[in-house]
Amino acid sequence: MKIKILAEGGNMSPGPALSQKLGPAGINMGQVISKVNEATKDFKGLKVPVELDVDTATKQFEIKVFSPPVSELLKKELGIEKGSGEQEKIKVANASIEQIISVAKTKFPNMLCNDLKAAVKSVVGTCVSLGILIENKPATEIEQEIEQGKYDKEIQEERTETPAEKKAELDKYFSKIRSEQEKIKKQEESVKEAEAAKKEKSAAAGKESENKPGPANK
């Protein structure tokens, strides 16, 4: 019997949903939680797919841990809580190609990719949907550059460490982007507030006009 669970790395806890899944197998929940937490401790703060292979006769089980989704790995790697939601307009991070390779290497064993280069391209695709810049550029542009072979050396050497100087430059660039985004957001909010105030004023004027007494009848 196979049971699939999405657990919080190193921090799985009892609950109704878990009881519902484990109940039919008749296995000890405390034992499952303890073993899953031990097996997923390296993925703290991430949602991790876990599969339990249960022998219903003996109540023994084996745990198979899959790496978290690419989006979760990127969030952890870049220290962000969530993606953009407005990918074209709002960017949430500026990754180095080394960070992308690092995520691709972690996820590669569970991906349907022939090689690391294909895995890197797949991770870059996720960056597009999350609103993540790479090397100061939109992720779509990096996809094309990978296709053209620009990062072949870094990928072949499996570079996963970003030089400190480069990291500082990427952070500095993104700081400017974030500042510009905040400025635009404030301007948009000011316009919305002005429009709302105008509508309110117009509605108040209309109401006042309705309440004015008409001319006396002769």
pLDDT at site 216:
54
The pLDDT, as a whole number, for residue 211 is: 67
Looking at the DSSP bridge assignments, the partners of residue 65 are 50
User: What's the rounded Cα separation, in Å, for the pair 128 and 92?
Assistant: 11
Q: Tokens 């978290």: give the residue.
A: 68
Whole-angstrom distance, CA of residue 86 vs CA of residue 12:
32
Q: How many residues does the chain have?
A: 218
pLDDT, tens digit, 9 for 90 and up, residues 104-151 = 998 888 888 889 999 999 999 999 999 999 999 999 999 999 999 999
Instruction: Report strand pairing: 2-8 vs 60-65.
Output: unpaired
pLDDT digits (tens, 9 = 90+) for 63-84: 998 888 899 899 999 999 888 8
Residue 160 phi/psi, 5-degree rounding, is -125, 0
Question: How does the average pLDDT of the chain come out, rounded?
Answer: 88
pTM value is 0.71
Which domains, ranges and CATH numbers included, belong to the chain?
Answer: 2-65 (3.30.1550.10), 70-181 (1.10.10.250)
89 or 126, greater pLDDT: 126
Q: How far is CA 125 from CA 32, 79, 106, 213, in A?
A: 35, 19, 16, 65
